[in-house]
Amino acid sequence: MRVLGIDPGLTRCGLGVVEGSVGRPLHMLDVGVVRTPADMAVPLRLCRIEAEVEHWLDVHEPDAVAVERVFSQHNVSTVMGTAQASGIAMVAAAKRGIPVALHTPSEVKAAVSGSGRADKAQIGIMVTRLLRLTQTPKPADAADALALAICHIWRGAAQSRIEAAVAAAGRRAR
């Protein structure tokens, strides 16, 4: 399974592609961050993010896209920008018929480190180890995007099988 993980943000949007399956070694195919300047108009910033996400989808042809679920923060403007970038990523994937999964930060942390309360440094270290990288991806948004992809490979595949089994059981019951 090939997954594009997206850590949405208006200033920095992390992108990471991981390939693998449960019980098998994972491989990082690409990682990066889309940056937009704070003094640029928001619609133009969203256009830049959208163009980059579209490019990554075209180049990497993922089987799924994993996006960090937006959660309430203290800074409303930060939440708005994150939600807008998240929406752009989801629409770009949906236009191509690529399944999109949302994972909470604590789900991602627990999947990658074993603790839903891990800090950014711990996530970076675990991503580096799990993908057998020589150095931790920088900035943290890049490592977070890879962590999202890892989380989806490990958790999303199982969840998809459960949903398919429930759907099949429902069809048989009719």
Instruction: Report helix angle 120-130 to 140-151, nearest 10.
Output: 60
The number of C-alpha atoms within 13 Å of 77 and in the hemisphere containing its C-beta is 3
Closest CA to 140 of 109, 165, 161: 109
Burial class (CB in 10 A: 0-12, 13-18, 19+), 12: middle
Does the annotation count 7 as an active-site position? yes
Cα 150 to Cα 165: distance, rounded to the nearest angstrom:
23
Catalytic residue, candidates 7, 19, 52, 144: 7
Spatial separation of the C-alpha atoms in residues 78 and 59, rounded to whole Å: 29
Residue 66 DSSP SS3: strand
* 54 labeled part of a ligand binding site: no
7 assigned to a ligand binding site: yes
Which candidate in 54, 68, 119, 144 is catalytic? 68
Token representation of residue 10: 């208006």
- Catalytic residue chosen out of the listed positions 63, 141, 144, 163: 141
Cα–Cα distance, 51 to 34 (Å, whole number):
10
Q: Is 144 a catalytic residue?
A: no
- Check if 119 is active-site: no
Per the annotation, binding residues for Mg(2+) are 7, 68, 141
Per the annotation, binding residues are 7, 68, 141
Residues with a known catalytic role: 7, 68, 141
